[in-house]
A = this chain, B = another copy of it.
């Protein structure tokens, strides 16, 4: 099933509109190309609706948020809703500042999202209306463990029910859920946390997967999360003793470029709760 999700991206080559931060934007563009999509970045209020209308999905990422682009995010989100195109939200740093929390909440109010992807602290912040995100990383008090997994799945399903979105919480164990089904994904490698923007990249790739599989957004999101995790693993296997986080970044994107449906299917490690 995940295989089909991946192959649809390669076959349909969806255009993905990204309104995203300037830190990881280049990697987001390259990973969308790597998985088979075509990225366009645009954030000016005078063109975002037209650009969204050209695209198969919209990815909104609030890293390096600024007042100029908030209205662009809202306008593009509303246009995508009107045209029934999937919209992904990456609430980077929600909980770390009032501006990010409030903007994320406002986006939730005005835009129907297909997928919301963040770390556990960001997602808890959205659910609670405030939070304690440590910069752009999850608060250690929030981290998902084997023991807390079932309980967290319940919370995630509840938040999915409340928002109507697929919720993707990424971390050591990833949880991707709608209101009644949760994929718990065990792929990935801890070193991914020492590359800036692996979360942003995953959100952009998720938008490409959702664009190519609009009827199966939960499975598309789970496939994208597994794909990223597997690529984190195969990229890690490739590291030489002198390689560090910069080469690792390149190898992860390279792995996404080379990933095929059979490998995705056979290396995906998850259970459904």
Contact = CB atoms under 8 A, between A and B. Distances in A.
Contacts of A243: 254
Interface stretch (A34-42, A156-164, A172-180, A264-272): A34-42
Interface string A32-60: 01100011111111110011001100000
Contacts of A12: none
B242 A50 contact: no
Residue among A23, A34, A63, A99 with max Cβ neighbours from chain B (10 Å): A23
Contacts of A39: 135, 196
A196 to B, nearest CB: 4
Interface residues of A, number: 65
A263 interface: no
A164 B251 CA distance: 44
Given A135-B15, A244-B255, A245-B33, A64 B46 contact: no
Contacts of A135: 15, 38-40, 51, 54-55
B247 A134 contact: no
A258 interface: yes
Contact of A46 (B38, B99, B241, B242): B99
Given A40-B135, A135-B15, A242 B250 contact: no
A108 interface: no
Given A44-B67, A250-B246, A254-B246, A197 B26 contact: yes
Contacts of A24: 26, 29
A253 B247 CA distance: 8
A143 interface: no
- Copies of this protein in the complex: 3
A216 interface: no
A131 interface: no
Contacts of A64: 41-44
B40 A65 contact: no
A164 to B, nearest CB: 28
Interface string A8-25: 000000010000011111
A92 to B, nearest CB: 9
Interface in A202-230: none
Contacts of A38: 134-137
A33 B193 CA distance: 9
Interface in A64-109: 64-68, 93, 96-100
Q: What are the 5 closest A-B residue pairs judged by CB atoms, nearest first?
A: A244-B257, A244-B254, A246-B253, A29-B196, A47-B97
